[in-house]
Amino acid sequence: MLDHPLQEIDDWVVLFSDNSLPVLRATKRHLEEMRADIDRVDARELARIVLQDPIMTVKVLAFIQPIRGRSLQHDITTIASAIMMAGIHPFFHRFEELITIEDMLKGVDPHALLGVLQTIRRAQRAAEYAHDWAVWRHDINMEEVRIAALLHDLAEILVWCFAPKLGLAIHAQQVAQPTMRSADAQRNTLGLVFQDIQLALCTAWHLPELLQHLIDDANAEQPRVRNVTLAVRLARHSAHGWDDPALPDDYTDIGQLLNLTPEAVRQRLGLEPMPAREAESSEPD
């Protein structure tokens, strides 16, 4: 386990590229169950399992790129398409031996496992929000938006797995100073931010350019990227409950994306209605 920050982004890329990336224990169990009855495996059902796990999702996308490069002129940006391109049997052959996050962090501070599982759960929720809004917006490909939201914080997940002490140090700063921006906590500990590592990994692993574009917050003025960014933001701010002071701004920004009032956004999220006075003050002018 790494216990000190690496000096360069390329060093992080090498660390993550030269080691087997772990998946959730539940992912491994589901895949083993499907492998036992491989001739009846449905690509869509297999894709549904993969899409619950950010690391498994990126492993599949990285696996398919060399295959795609020999036979197609365009990127494969959905998991079901990647599985069908690879073939069911080659897929299971490639992912026969999987390391789990739970085993990898066994014997480490239990708060590290809790930290990575919470981060993955946040990514899953961001993916769900992003997909829901993409459907509402009649996006041309909802799964691309879902995957981008799921992978948006991949570098953070990987740091928790390979350098749990650093993950805990970043978390401790944010607990001690709740108003500290997450990017500042990352710079204080790592000397850089997760997003920098993330984009470098996308390039090194030859992930589809479209997904790289959707993950990059620098493109947030574009509606599809904003869909992803706001979903990630909402999942982060609501991770510990719905009383975070940043949430009202989130409802406003999401409402602008979806052409809804902030209160209508809250209703889509299944939240209790705001008191009448607050609801009136949140109406657009």
pLDDT value, residue 112:
95
DSSP symbol at 63: H
Q: For the chain, what are the domain ranges? A: 23-98, 104-270
Could you tell me the pLDDT band of residue 212, with boundaries at 50, 70 and 90?
Answer: confident
Angstrom distances, CA of residue 21 to CA of 16, 116, 225, 240, 263: 7, 13, 26, 27, 41
Residue type, 277: R
Instruction: Note the pLDDT of residue 73.
Output: 47
Chain segment 24-59, per-residue pLDDT in tens = 999 999 999 999 999 999 999 999 999 999 999 999
What gap in Å lies between CA 89 and CA 92, rounded to an integer?
5
Average pLDDT rounded to a whole number, residues 240-263? 94
For residue 76, the model assigns a pLDDT of 67
pLDDT of 68 = 57
Residue-wise pLDDT tens digits, 108-132: 999 999 999 999 999 999 999 999 9
pTM: 0.90
| Token code pair at residue 102 | 């739970």
pLDDT in the model for residue 55? 96
pLDDT at 56: 96
Residues 181, 185, 188, 190, CA torsion sign: negative
| pLDDT computed for residue 19 by the predictor | 85
Do 92 and 31 form a contact (C-beta atoms < 8 A)?
A: yes
Angle at 185 between CA 179 and CA 187, to 5 degrees: 140
CA separation, residue 234 to residues 62, 252, 253, 265 (Å): 28, 11, 10, 11
Which is nearest to 56 in space by CA: 85, 31, 19?
A: 31
CA angle (112 as vertex; 107, 115 as ends), nearest 5: 150
Q: Which has more confidence, 285 or 1?
A: 1
The amino acid present at 204, given as its one-letter code, is A
Q: Which of 132, 152, 147, 146 is nearest to 257 (CA)?
A: 132
In eight-state DSSP terms, residue 153 is: T
User: Using CB atoms within 10 A of its CB, is residue 94 exposed (0-12), middle (13-18) or buried (19+)?
Assistant: middle
Question: What fold characterizes domain 104-270?
Answer: Hypothetical protein af1432 (1.10.3210)
CA pair distance 122, 116, nearest whole angstrom:
10
User: pLDDT digit string (tens) for 147-181?
Assistant: 999 999 999 999 999 999 999 999 999 889 988 88
Say how far apart CA 234 and CA 230 lie, in whole Å.
6
Q: What angle do CA 52, 202, 56 make, to 5 degrees?
A: 25
| 64-96: pLDDT as tens digits | 877 655 544 456 678 988 898 889 999 999 999
What is the predicted pLDDT for the residue at 153? Answer: 93
d(CA 256, CA 138): 15
101: tokens are: 């996050």
